[in-house]
Amino acid sequence: MPFAHFALALSIAVIAHRGEHLRNPENTLPAFREAIALGADYFELDVRTSSNGVLVLSHDATVDRRTNGKGKVAEMTFEELRKLDAGGGAKIPTFDEALELAHGKIGIYVDCKQVAAKQLVDAIAKRSMDAAVVIYGSPRLLKEIQTLNPKLKVMPEANNAETARRLIEDLHPKVIAFDARDFQPDVIKLVRDAGAEIYVDRLGVADTPRLWQDAIDRGAAGIQTDHPGELVDYLKKKGYKQD
């Protein structure tokens, strides 16, 4: 599905959490390719920085859980990280490789774990992906990113009504992230009244058709899921997504 299609479609955005990671290793190119094939609108990834300054993908601060190695990502060179098996022979990708793969096909939900604002902004610009990313991170980092490139869509976490109000005043975000904890009526109303879109996590026990629909009914414009294929099918069946 070309990027132009989903950008114009009147639909609920499907965000594939760490790619399609139930049948593929998380945060790897095979997981992202599968998310594209399933018709997701975004794949979510986690960005960290190697010891020699390369932006790489890893949710955890260490490689212990998801590879055959051990150690902290920030204390390993890219060359050391690249030698590891991230599952089924897949390698730890660079952020640039993910951007290249996504270009013209899908958007990227960027979860900033440990990264410098300028390096991230420059990497996105290099691949002409400015209009195809949403960037999640701390308010301080998002402010830096916004200052460097106001066109980029930053996405802070709502947390609660007081925090959301401050974020709206400071960042004027076009989209705000929610999880099960902060997806509450007062926070939802505040964000909707501000004209920002709501992207909500529906992971774990909340990743079901009943709670997808509940999120939509309460104003979600995007849903992050571990089941992108099933969510795409559900949204098409309900008329929230075009074929």
pLDDT for residue 135? 99
The 10s digit of each residue's pLDDT in 80-125 is: 999 999 999 999 999 999 999 999 999 999 999 999 999 999 999 9
Q: How confident is the model at residue 176 (pLDDT cuts 50, 70, 90)?
A: very high
pLDDT at 8 over 60: no
Q: What are the beta bridge partners of residue 15?
A: 42, 224
pLDDT at 237 over 80: yes
Q: Do residues 31 and 40 make contact, with C-beta atoms less than 8 angstroms apart? A: no
pLDDT for residue 242? 82
Question: What average pLDDT score do residues 132-151 get?
Answer: 98
Q: Do residues 188 and 234 make contact, with C-beta atoms less than 8 angstroms apart? A: no
Q: How confident is the model at residue 10 (pLDDT cuts 50, 70, 90)?
A: low
Residue 71 C-beta-side C-alpha neighbours within 13 Å: 13
pLDDT for residue 6? 32
pLDDT at 238 over 50: yes
Q: Do residues 1 and 102 make contact, with C-beta atoms less than 8 angstroms apart? A: no
pLDDT at 195 over 80: yes
For the chain, domains (ranges, CATH) are 3-238 (3.20.20.190)
Residue with tokens 């980092």: 141
Q: Do residues 55 and 98 make contact, with C-beta atoms less than 8 angstroms apart? A: no
Nearest to 165 by CA among 136, 133, 191, 192: 191
10 Å Cβ neighbour count for 127?
19
CA distance to 93, 177, 242, per residue, from 200 (Å): 26, 6, 21
The 10s digit of each residue's pLDDT in 33-80 is: 999 999 999 999 999 999 999 999 999 999 999 999 999 999 999 999
pLDDT at 160 over 60: yes
**Can you point out the beta strands (E) in the chain?**
13-16, 42-49, 55-57, 107-112, 133-136, 153-155, 175-178, 197-201, 222-225
pLDDT at 171 over 50: yes
